[in-house]
Amino acid sequence: MATTFNPRQLISRLVSNYYKSATGIFPKHIEQREFGFGNFDIKVLGRHMGFRDEKQFRDYLVSNAPMFASCSQSYYRDPTARPMEKKDAVGAEMVFDIDATDMNLPCQIEHGKKWVCEICLDSVKAEATKLVEDFLVPDFGFSESEIEINFSGNRGYHMHIDSEKVSHLDNFARREISEYIAGSGMDFKTLFPTAGARATKLLGPKPADSGWGGKIANNVIKTINMGPDELMRLGATKQEAKQLYEKRALFEMGVRNGNWDMVYIKKKDEFWKNIIAKQAVNQGDKIDKNVTADPTHLLRVPNTIHGDTGLIAKKVGTKASLGKFEPMKEAIAFRQGEAKVHVTNSPKLIMNGEAFGPYSDEDVIVPIYAAVYMHLKGVGAIKGFRAKAR
Ligand SMILES: [Zn+2]
C-alpha cells in the first residue's frame, strides 16, 4: 500500500466510477429542477445550477464526483435564474422528510447523534410506515402507489408525492399539512365541544371518527388498556391512572359513544387537555416541517451518493417495498475491494449482513464500503486500498 495515500482521492474516484453506470439517477423533468452540490465539508456548496438533459447531468457527476447531489422539489421555467423569484415556479412535488435524529431515541444517548444503529434504522422505518398508514392515506386520500419512498442515504427516508393534487399548493397550504401531521396546533375545543361548560358531560371524539379525533380516541383507549404506568407517562397522577385502569371497560364503552365522562376525573377538562397534547406529540409523525413547507428546499437526488456515509440515497418504491428494505445492505454503493482503516473509536457497524467492531484505536482491514462508511462518519481514517477483494 502506497505511502502518499490520500483517502479523499480514493473516495472521489469511487464516487465518479459509481456515476459512470448508476441507474435511476435522473429526477423527472430534469431540465426544470434547480441543483446544488456539496463536497467533503459542505453539503450544499453551490446551488442555482441546472441541466438541460440526462447526459449533461451524468457527465457532471462523473467529472466532478460531488459528495452530495441535491435538487429542488419545485419545477421552474428557469431553474438557474437568481434571485429565487425569477426562477418562475410552475409546480412542485410534496416531500416529507423523516430523520432518526429528530426522534430522540434512547440508543442515541449511547452512540451519539451522528452514529446510526439498527434500532435507529428500524425506528425511522416504522415512523415512515406510520406516516403513510396513519396520515397520508386515511387523512389526505393519497393512494399508496402515489407515494414514492427513498432512503436518505444516512438515517432517514424521503417520501415524494408528485401529483396534480399537490403540485400547485402554496407554502401556506404546505405548512398547514405539515403542522397537521406533526400534531401541533391541535384545538382541544374543537375535539371536545363541551369542554369548559359547567354541569355537562364531557363530549369528545370517537374511535370511528376521521382525522386526529379518531387517532386520539383510539390511542387513549389503547394507552389505558396497557396499564397505569403508560397513562402516568402522559402526565396522569397515580390515582387518576389507577382509577381509569380499573374502570377501563366502562371508560371505553363511553368513548366509543363519544362520552368521555363515564369515569369520574377531577378537573376533567384540564386533565384530558394535558394528556391529549402529550399524546399528539408522541403520535404525530416526526417530519421535518420545513422541508414539507418549503418546496425550494433542495433534497438529495434519489440514487445518488450520500457524502456522510458513502451509501446510496436509494429508491425504495412504495410502502409495500419498505418493510423488507435493508438499507445497510441494499444501499451499498462501493463493493469492490478492501481497505486498511485506522479506527479511533467505532461502535459496532453492521453492513451487508456482517458485523464490524466495535473498534478502538486499532488498524483493521475491512471491505471498502465499511471503510468508507467509517471514514466519512469520522470514526476512522482510511490508510490504504486494495482493489482485489479477499
Ligand atoms: Zn441508534
**Interval between CA 324 and ligand 1 midpoint (Å):** 19
Residue 129 Cα, ligand 1 centroid: separation in angstroms? 18
Give the C-alpha separation, 333 to 263, whole Å. Answer: 58
- How many Cα neighbours within 13 Å face the side chain of 2? 8
Regarding pTM above 0.85, the answer is: yes
Mean pLDDT of the chain: 94
- The class that CATH gives domain 12-181+287-330 is alpha beta
pLDDT digits (tens, 9 = 90+) for 320-352: 999 999 999 999 999 999 999 999 999 999 999
How many Å is the Cα radius of gyration of the chain? Answer: 25
Write out pLDDT tens, residues 72-124. 999 999 999 999 999 999 999 999 999 998 888 999 999 998 999 999 999 99
The full DSSP string for 286-311 is -B-HHHHH-TTSEEEPTTSBPTTTSB
68 DSSP β-pair partners: 38
- Cell (9 digits) for 131: 406516516
| C-alpha 120 – ligand 1 centre gap (Å) | 4
C-alpha to C-alpha distance for 244 and 248, rounded to whole angstroms: 6
Q: What is the pLDDT of residue 3?
A: 59
Return the closest-CA partner of residue 252 out of 226, 277, 270: 226
Give the tens place of pLDDT for each residue, 268-324.
999 999 999 888 888 888 899 999 999 999 999 999 999 999 999 999 999 999 999
Helix, strand, or coil (residue 85): helix
Q: Determine the distance separating the centroid of ligand 1 and the alpha carbon of 101, expressed in angstroms.
A: 9
Q: From ligand 1's centre to the CA of 113, what distance in Å?
A: 8
pLDDT in tens, 121-145: 999 999 999 999 999 999 999 999 9
C-alpha cell at 55: 447526459
Name residues with Cβ closer than 5 Å to ligand 1, which is an ion. 107, 117, 119-120
Query: Residue 112 Cα, ligand 1 centroid: separation in angstroms?
Result: 8
Cell numbers at 192, concatenated: 371536545
CA of 100 to the centre of ligand 1 (A): 8
Q: Distance between CA 207 and CA 129 in Å, rounded?
A: 21
Burial class (CB in 10 A: 0-12, 13-18, 19+), 331: buried
How remote is the CA of residue 118 from the centroid of ligand 1, in Å?
6
